[in-house]
Chain A
Amino acid sequence: EAAVTQSPRNKVAVTGGKVTLSCNQTNNHNNMYWYRQDTGHGLRLIHYSYGAGSTEKGDIPDGYKASRPSQENFSLILELATPSQTSVYFCASGDHRGDTQYFGPGTRLLVL
């Protein structure tokens, strides 16, 4: 089973500030994903990546950027944070054989 870690686990940011959420996985999975979870919406895909150097837009990419500098690391970047981006963010990784995704512990972000 993939080991996926996220940092920070909790973050308070100010409106207009830059926020970077980091994710690391240690099982050499090709695919990595960023989701946000909000009450009433379940989990929604923001960005994903097939491998180092690649990023793809998910269902709700507006206001977010992603970076995949290596196989292990995948970052989610909020260049100009807004209160509507207050949420819980989950990173996940998956192998390419049917792509069962394994999730990190989540990051709670509060934008004031």
Chain B
Amino acid sequence: AQKVTQTQTSISVVEKTTVTMDCVYETRDSSYFLFWYKQTASGEIVFLIRQDSYKKENATVGHYSLNFQKPKSSIGLIITATQIEDSAVYFCAMRDMGYKLTFGTGTSLLVDP
């Protein structure tokens, strides 16, 4: 069975700095898809960025980028130039060749001015 683990419960950073959130996963499939979502204070869940396992290049969208280390089954989320509005809970998720998405338990990010 697939499993997604986020060990960082909460992180606090100063605005305009860079933060990295960790995520490790387990799967038996050779092909899979990795996602990061953000849940805002209002409860809204927003898709941020994804990495397909067969792609070697790390995905980048705006000020979000991924550090994909396939041999370590690791997919870290990097947020550069953090802003106050980046304060939220960030979820890592994985889908293997089935249709189910398995989520980690989330990392709470607080960006201080």
Contact = CB atoms under 8 A, between A and B. Distances in A.
Interface residues of A, number: 25
B100 interface: yes
Interface stretch (B12-20, B39-47, B62-70, B75-83): B39-47
Contact of B95 (A42, A99, A103, A105): A99
Contacts, number: 51
A99 B32 CA distance: 11
Given A40-B105, A42-B105, A43-B91, A58 B100 contact: yes
Interface residues of B, number: 21
Most interface-central of A41, A98, A101 (chain B CB within 10 A): A101
A64 interface: no
B8 to A, nearest CB: 14
B35 A103 contact: no
B99 A50 contact: yes
A43 B50 contact: no
Most interface-central of B46, B52, B101 (chain A CB within 10 A): B101
A86 B99 CA distance: 26
A42 B108 CA distance: 12
Interface in B62-113: 91, 93, 95, 99-106
Interface of B: 33, 35, 37, 43-47, 50, 52, 91, 93, 95, 99-106
